[in-house]
Structure 1
Amino acid sequence: MGLSRRGLFGLGAAGAAAVGAGVVGANTLLHDAPAAHATSTSDPYPFYGEHQAGIVTPAQDRLHFVAFDVITDKRAELAELLQEWTAAAARLTQGKEAGSFGAVGGAPEAAPDDTGEALGLPASGLTLTVGFGPSLFDDRYGLADRRPAPLADLPKFPGEQLVREISGGDLCVQACAHDPQVAVHAIRNLARIGFGKVSVRWSQLGFGRTSSTSRAQATPRNLLGFKDGTDNLKLEDADLLRDQLWASPQDSSAWMAGGTYLVTRKIRMEIETWDRTSLAEQEQIFGRDKGEGAPLGARAEFDPIDFAAKGPSGEPYIKDDAHVRLAHPSSNGDAHLLRRGYNYVDGSDGLGRLDAGLFFIAYQRDPRKQFVPVQMRLARHDALNEYIKHISSGLFACPPGVRDAGDYWGRTLFEA
């Protein structure tokens, strides 16, 4: 489990010192399965493992998501950055400071190794998850022939109004935690470490998770007031996770085995218009009742959905353009997504309307077979489209987890 000579060289002075000093023991960072749990909202999740944390990890309450453009033209510097980020992430996720000297332990005349705003705060369940965008596989770094087939550019969906400045990116980092200051601190320090090699392209703060990724969690609500993600993949669904979430060597790129693919969409909601819509129409649009989250025609949230069930008028309880019908796996070739979205409010638009909605996050084995057909169906037919618009989009390949202190994010890509 020791640090390899190659890994020691790549981590740089700060990262190597952190591991060598033993401030974060490898044994405390290791998990044997993605279902590893923290015992409270203050405790850490393990960092090392077969898969990256922050995917099937029980969804935390807060999000800070950032996409970066890589500005160095040197492949070695990009690989070195990922090694330095990994060393910092191993510390941060355990409630430690980003560098070995921390915020106050270094020379007074030098910039600190940590920005300091999380001093005294616990780990708060922090997870950091990294991904590589399609643009990273251009001609700059000799990676074009290693672009995995599932990382195909998303098509243009009907009705979307994407803003280029808040879409795409060469790299992404998803920070989830129960304390927003812990999540922001982690992203701030990774951006600081990356100075001169990456620049922030766009970022998004989120609160109020909109999906449950474990059956121990209650289903949360989106800003339209409905329970969201009732039928989400859960970390307890081992067979479905194997088939629908984790990439395998047969998926065209051996370096992605144990990884997954991430799609993000920023979806602005017309909150004020929705708030003037009748309860009956709101429920028909979703195909669920607003109180319990039950499918229309049923009683409880997790009752099986009967799309053939008809009401007293002889019409189906769940209409053809209802969101739940169009998004359901039975309507999409049994395609499942692991959703991990968050609500957002970015102030107002200057006209007295909330700039608010859903920051949609979904992990899957192959977006071409999962997200794309589902979203195309929704974009063409969903009654909810009257109240929402997609303004941002991202697609990223999330590599497998970091196995031990000699490993780093993306090693399988750069050393394949």
Structure 2
Amino acid sequence: MPGISRRKLFGLGAAGVAAAGAGTLAVASLPEEAAPARTGSASDPVPFYGEHQAGIVTPAQDRLHFVAFDVTTKDRAELVDLLQEWTSAAARMTQGQDAGTFGAVGGVPEAPPDDTGEALGLPASGLTLTIGFGPSLFDGRFGLADRKPAALAELPKFPGEALLPEISGGDLCVQACAHDPQVAVHAIRNLARIGFGKVSVRYSQLGFGRTSSTSRAQATPRNLMGFKDGTANLKLEDTDMLRDHLWVAEEDGAAWMAGGSYLVTRKIRMHIETWDRTSLTEQEAIFGRTKGEGAAHGMAKEFDEPDFAKKGPDGQPLIADIAHVKLAHPSSHGGARLLRRGYNFVDGSDGLGRLDAGLFFIAYQRDPHRQFVPVQLALARQDVLNEYIKHVSSGLFAIPPGVRDAGDYWGRTLFS
């Protein structure tokens, strides 16, 4: 972190990041504590049709399989056909059915099955499938260049990031969330199977242990640093705030996106071995919250709003100006807020005796250049957590509105 060490930060009084977690963004805190409950049963299906795509404000499920695709066909009609096939399969799988009409065993024995079969006998498990379109899809191959929204302009380069091109970007993305990892993997596998010859997998990411709560009925989860994550996240119950900060409106400049949103993904590698050798006092100072309760410095409860004017016995602010909570707080960025639904990941080891682990950051918003970008720039320049994390992949996607009925399909408003 240029010009500032965490030791100097502690010398300023106390430090830390409130809310979010490694490399994520804080938003306004909730008025009361969420109950440790899950909405509905973990095996229940989530409705597929609606004004907005499921998997955004849906109460965050336990597991993730995220995939980015490169489109290999050059034929616009083939791409539209694929999106229609995918929509039909997604509508079935989210309701606990096979991906195709004849399923895994009901077709012609001499032909490949309509479904790969590994989810036979499993319930829907809250599966949601959410599709997005990357900036590269608007490069002219499919006559979409003049329909690219201004909000889909490429993200700037942030200080300190070390992005790997092979696990960044993508023409299309699909986010599969479920309470059963096999159900999520099955869904992505079958979409990739259906897309053979038209798309190819660019990269995919498995996630576990959601790091955000998207409903007040959910308890706040913890990230791999052991701290509560997503305390101040936007919730599905915040209707007015979702209208202002999450859903795209027609007046935003791309009418086909009305009812949609924009997705930013960041794979954030944590140097957890270094973190694990850091004292509890220092960890809590860096996060600005207690590790147990999750209360901000100077506060008693997890959901108490941080008080940046509050001072300690030494007369210094309990939360320093360069602490994460101050850098990321909406009051520092014109009220910028996000809806986050990230996941922990462990992708084995790096071959040097260290776990390849961290946070797969997922955030939805109305305009990433007015919401994600200014906050991440501040964090990248000054956040104390930069000593313990590294951003290694990035993605930006336009998330179209929901599928209204069985005659509709993913992306119809863009291609019609």
Same fold (TM > 0.5)? yes
The Cα shift of 1:38 comes to 6.2
The Cα shift of 1:304 comes to 1.6
After TM superposition, list the pairs within 5 Å mapping 1:70-219 onto structure 2: 70-219=71-220
The 1:352–1:186 alpha-carbon spacing in structure 2 relative to 1, beyond 3 Å, is: same
After TM superposition, list the pairs within 5 Å mapping 1:300-339 onto structure 2: 300-339=301-340
The Cα shift of 1:321 comes to 2.3
The Cα shift of 1:339 comes to 0.4
Aligned partners of 1:287 and 1:319 also within 8 Å: no
The Cα shift of 1:320 comes to 2.0
Bigger drift between 296-305 and 161-170 goes to 296-305
Return the alpha-carbon distance in structure 1 between the equivalents of residues 259 and 210 of structure 2: 25
Return the alpha-carbon distance in structure 2 between the equivalents of residues 256 and 368 of structure 1: 16
User: Could you tell me the percent identity over the aligned residues?
Assistant: 82
Q: Give the match's secondary structure for 1:316.
A: coil
Could you tell me which runs of 5 or more consecutive residues in structure 1 were left unpaired when the two chains were aligned. 1-36
Bigger drift between 91-100 and 303-312 goes to 303-312
Aligned partners of 1:287 and 1:325 also within 8 Å: no
Partner deviation per Cα, 1:57-102 (whole Å, 9 max, x = no partner): 0000000000000000000000110000000000000000000000
Q: Give the match's secondary structure for 1:154.
A: coil
Aligned partners of 2:53 and 2:260 also within 8 Å: yes
Aligned partners of 1:38 and 1:125 also within 8 Å: no
Equivalent position amino acid for 2:44 in 1:
D
Q: Give the match's secondary structure for 2:353.
A: coil
**Dislocated runs of 4+, deviation >3 Å:** none
After TM superposition, list the pairs within 5 Å mapping 1:197-276 onto structure 2: 197-276=198-277
Equivalent position amino acid for 2:124 in 1:
A
Bigger drift between 273-282 and 319-328 goes to 319-328
Aligned partners of 1:285 and 1:321 also within 8 Å: no
The Cα shift of 1:126 comes to 0.1
Aligned partners of 2:212 and 2:342 also within 8 Å: yes
Return the alpha-carbon distance in structure 2 between the equivalents of residues 347 and 320 of structure 1: 37
Return the alpha-carbon distance in structure 2 between the equivalents of residues 239 and 91 of structure 1: 32
Bigger drift between 281-290 and 146-155 goes to 281-290
Equivalent position amino acid for 2:403 in 1:
V
The Cα shift of 1:327 comes to 1.3
The Cα shift of 1:278 comes to 1.2
Q: Which has the higher contact order (CA 8 A, sep 6+)?
A: 2
Q: Give the match's secondary structure for 2:151.
A: helix
Could you tell me which runs of 5 or more consecutive residues in structure 2 were left unpaired when the two chains were aligned. 1-37
TM-score norm. by structure 1 comes to 0.90
Return the alpha-carbon distance in structure 2 between the equivalents of residues 277 and 132 of structure 1: 41
Return the alpha-carbon distance in structure 1 between the equivalents of residues 180 and 41 of structure 2: 12
Return the alpha-carbon distance in structure 2 between the equivalents of residues 200 and 64 of structure 1: 13
Query: In the alignment, what sits opposite 1:20?
Result: none
Return the alpha-carbon distance in structure 1 between the equivalents of residues 195 and 89 of structure 2: 11
Partner deviation per Cα, 1:364-389 (whole Å, 9 max, x = no partner): 00001000001000000100000000
Q: What is the CA RMSD across the aligned residues, in angstroms?
A: 0.8
Equivalent position amino acid for 2:176 in 1:
A
Q: Give the match's secondary structure for 1:211.
A: coil
Return the alpha-carbon distance in structure 1 between the equivalents of residues 387 and 232 of structure 2: 23
Return the alpha-carbon distance in structure 2 between the equivalents of residues 331 and 230 of structure 1: 18
Return the alpha-carbon distance in structure 1 between the equivalents of residues 39 and 141 of structure 2: 40
Equivalent position amino acid for 2:316 in 1:
E
Query: In the alignment, what sits opposite 2:25?
Result: none
Return the alpha-carbon distance in structure 2 between the equivalents of residues 141 and 246 of structure 1: 26
Q: Give the match's secondary structure for 1:359.
A: strand
Query: In the alignment, what sits opposite 1:67?
Result: 68
Return the alpha-carbon distance in structure 2 between the equivalents of residues 370 and 350 of structure 1: 37
Equivalent position amino acid for 2:257 in 1:
M
Number of matched residues? Answer: 379
The Cα shift of 1:316 comes to 1.2
Query: In the alignment, what sits opposite 1:363?
Result: 364
Return the alpha-carbon distance in structure 2 between the equivalents of residues 338 and 284 of structure 1: 25
Return the alpha-carbon distance in structure 1 between the equivalents of residues 117 and 346 of structure 2: 26
Return the alpha-carbon distance in structure 1 between the equivalents of residues 111 and 358 of structure 2: 42
Q: Give the match's secondary structure for 1:413.
A: helix
Aligned partners of 1:41 and 1:178 also within 8 Å: yes
Equivalent position amino acid for 2:119 in 1:
A
Return the alpha-carbon distance in structure 2 between the equivalents of residues 228 and 214 of structure 1: 14
Return the alpha-carbon distance in structure 1 between the equivalents of residues 143 and 233 of structure 2: 37
Equivalent position amino acid for 2:342 in 1:
G
